[in-house]
């Protein structure tokens, strides 16, 4: 058997002919052989975009509340260990290797993908560490994703849009159905997308899940400029508040964290109660309050199993961190890292950039060729002045020449230049940008990871 984590990951990549092989039968069989029977609450988080932010906020708040939290996310940026965290600490190489070895021994002749190995290994680590709660991020879709072999006590769908059409379908209805596959009978299912596909609603009703939707069972509100939104929830108690006071708000873009809010506070309403005068999440971005609202709704749903004080909620929102999500790197010019890799995420990034003070923007741009490259380019066209494109050194990576053609087809208004590598594109942007300009690196986890390596930044 392999000895090091790097050797194990190479081995896992070679075992299964397909990177993605949706279906639960194989992974469920190995789960049974391993005897993985978690006795702690499980929160499963899916969605086209935003699921990483939801996981990070859940982890931060539950950790602040004193719980030992297991958190499994994907993909990683720099180190595989980022995917498996216990008590906000990454699992060690030794722990992961031991879990992989046990899975390899028990699986026999049952083939598993890289992601399926990782999912089982994460749960094995959580059980061994006796965590109080596990947060599992869906890898792709939901219904047939490996994490769905574990029954959730609460499920969250952060958003629904078009991505992975070869596996999930090319309509929001088809994709909504796949994501609703993580719902469970008699359990609360959270949807933070303001336009809920009927297929998702229908599936929740058919299986008997209790569906909570933003704008209906829960909502957020910004205080009026004159003030309002008094303190609430003293001593960890949530004041009773009928759902009738919840108002559907227009989807007004929200400013980045700490920028543009008169008092940096917001209010949350749910069918359970009110949480007032909340701090804006430390994660920047125009739509993080949608994600934060989904998090608080999930905590309301699990309040009997995992009670959380207002002190923990506030602390978690202030302290949450997540690399590569509209992440600002200090310095001049300002460097912004964002893993946006589909049109939905690109539109959010474009809105976030538009909310900042005007500045000339240099894009360090690289993508996988099986993504909607034209859609991403068009979404960000108005915000980018110079496109510095590079290829991704991976099987699915688009070449610089392919990206140049994509940008030409999209008829972007800015200058387009091909670079030999992502590092070269970053170097060119740094040399050309003035101290009041900005550099935005986006298009893929690979893009952000390479920029982080060049800059000596940490992942996780």
> Looking at the structure, do residues 367 and 439 belong to the same domain, yes or no?
yes
Global pTM value: 0.90
> Looking at the structure, do residues 225 and 296 belong to the same domain, yes or no?
yes
Q: Is residue 183 part of a domain?
A: yes
- Domain of 115: which CATH number? 3.40.1190.10
Q: Is residue 341 part of a domain?
A: yes
- d(CA 125, CA 28) in angstroms, rounded, equals 17
> Looking at the structure, do residues 269 and 406 belong to the same domain, yes or no?
no
> Looking at the structure, do residues 148 and 210 belong to the same domain, yes or no?
yes
Output the pLDDT for position 253.
39
Output the pLDDT for position 243.
32
Q: Is residue 65 part of a domain?
A: yes
Output the pLDDT for position 251.
34
- Domain of 419: which CATH number? 3.90.190.20
Last residue of a domain, one of 319, 339, 356: 319
8 Å CB contact between 77 and 457:
no
Output the pLDDT for position 431.
97
With vertex at residue 47, the alpha carbon angle to CA 41 and CA 51, rounded to the nearest 5 degrees, is: 65
**Per-residue tens of pLDDT for the chain, all 460 residues:** 899 999 999 999 988 766 656 779 999 999 999 999 999 999 999 999 999 999 999 999 999 999 999 999 999 999 999 999 999 999 999 999 999 999 999 999 999 999 999 999 999 999 999 999 999 999 988 899 999 999 999 999 999 986 655 656 668 999 999 999 999 999 999 999 999 999 999 999 999 999 999 999 999 998 765 444 333 333 332 322 323 333 333 333 344 443 433 357 999 999 999 999 999 999 998 789 999 999 999 999 999 999 999 999 999 999 999 999 999 999 999 999 999 999 999 999 999 999 999 999 999 999 999 999 999 999 999 999 999 999 999 889 999 999 999 999 999 999 999 999 999 999 999 999 999 999 999 999 999 999 999 999 987 6
> Looking at the structure, do residues 276 and 167 belong to the same domain, yes or no?
yes
- State the maximum Cα–Cα separation within the chain, in Å, rounded to a whole number: 66
The label of the residue with tokens 């979404």 reads 379
Give one word for 142, left, alpha or beta, with left for phi > 0 and alpha for psi -120 to 50. left
Write out 369-428 in H/E/C secondary structure: CCCCHHHHHHHHHHHCCEEEECCCCCCCECCHHHHHHHHHHHCCCCEEEECCCHHHHHHH
> Looking at the structure, do residues 356 and 303 belong to the same domain, yes or no?
no
Q: Give residues with Cβ within 8 angstroms of 87, minimum separation 6.
A: 63, 68, 69, 129
> Looking at the structure, do residues 227 and 164 belong to the same domain, yes or no?
yes
> Looking at the structure, do residues 333 and 198 belong to the same domain, yes or no?
no
Output the pLDDT for position 168.
61
Q: Is residue 460 part of a domain?
A: no
- d(CA 312, CA 90) in angstroms, rounded, equals 22
- What is the domain range of residue 295? 5-319
Q: Is residue 273 part of a domain?
A: yes
Q: Is residue 120 part of a domain?
A: yes
Count of domains observed in the chain: 2
Last residue of a domain, one of 319, 352, 369: 319
> Looking at the structure, do residues 314 and 184 belong to the same domain, yes or no?
yes
Q: Is residue 67 part of a domain?
A: yes
> Looking at the structure, do residues 257 and 390 belong to the same domain, yes or no?
no
CA atoms within 13 A on the CB side of 203: 20
> Looking at the structure, do residues 285 and 360 belong to the same domain, yes or no?
no
Last residue of a domain, one of 266, 298, 319: 319
> Looking at the structure, do residues 50 and 172 belong to the same domain, yes or no?
yes
Q: Is residue 233 part of a domain?
A: yes
């Amino acid at each position: 058997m392999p000895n090091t984590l790097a050797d194990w990951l190479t081995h896992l990549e070679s075992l299964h002919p397909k990177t993605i092989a949706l279906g639960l039968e194989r992974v469920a069989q190995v789960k049974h052989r391993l005897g993985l029977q978690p006795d702690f609450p499980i929160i499963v988080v899916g969605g086209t975009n935003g699921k990483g932010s939801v996981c990070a906020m859940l982890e931060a708040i539950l950790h602040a509340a004193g719980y030992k939290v297991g958190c499994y996310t994907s993909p990683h940026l720099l180190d595989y260990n980022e995917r498996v965290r216990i008590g906000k600490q990454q699992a060690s190489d030794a722990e992961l290797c031991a879990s992989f070895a046990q899975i390899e021994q028990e699986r026999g002749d049952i083939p598993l993908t890289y992601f399926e190995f990782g999912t089982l290994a994460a749960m094995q680590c959580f059980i061994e560490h006796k965590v109080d709660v596990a947060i599992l991020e869906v890898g792709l879709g939901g219904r047939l994703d490996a994490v769905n072999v574990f029954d959730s006590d609460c499920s969250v769908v952060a958003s629904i849009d078009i991505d992975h059409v070869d596996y999930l379908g090319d309509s929001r209805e088809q994709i909504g159905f796949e994501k609703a596959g993580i719902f469970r009978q008699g359990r609360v299912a959270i949807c933070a997308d303001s336009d809920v596909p009927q297929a998702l609603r229908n599936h929740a009703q058919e299986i008997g899940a209790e569906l909570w939707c933003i704008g209906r069972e829960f909502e957020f509100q910004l205080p009026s400029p004159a003030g309002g939104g008094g303190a609430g929830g003293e001593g960890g108690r949530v004041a009773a508040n009928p759902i009738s006071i919840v108002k559907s708000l227009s989807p007004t873009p929200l400013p980045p964290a700490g920028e543009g809010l008169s008092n940096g506070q917001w209010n949350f309403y749910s069918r359970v109660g009110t949480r007032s005068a909340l701090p804006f999440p430390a994660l920047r971005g125009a739509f993080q309050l949608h994600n934060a609202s989904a998090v608080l709704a999930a905590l309301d749903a699990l309040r009997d199993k995992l009670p959380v004080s207002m002190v923990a909620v506030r602390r978690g929102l202030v302290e949450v961190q997540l690399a590569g999500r509209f992440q600002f790197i200090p310095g001049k010019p300002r460097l912004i890292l964002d893993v946006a890799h589909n049109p939905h995420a690109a539109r959010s990034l474009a809105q976030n950039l538009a909310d900042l003070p005007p500045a000339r923007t240099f894009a360090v741009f690289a993508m996988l060729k099986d993504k909607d490259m034209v859609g991403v380019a068009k979404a960000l066209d108005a915000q980018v002045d110079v496109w510095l494109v590079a290829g991704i050194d991976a099987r699915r990576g688009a070449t610089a020449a392919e990206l140049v053609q994509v940008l030409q087809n999209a008829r972007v208004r800015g200058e387009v230049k091909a670079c030999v590598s992502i590092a070269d594109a970053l170097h060119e942007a740094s040399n050309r940008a003035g101290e009041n300009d900005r550099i935005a690196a986006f298009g893929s986890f690979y893009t952000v990871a390479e920029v982080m390596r060049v800059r000596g930044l940490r992942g996780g």
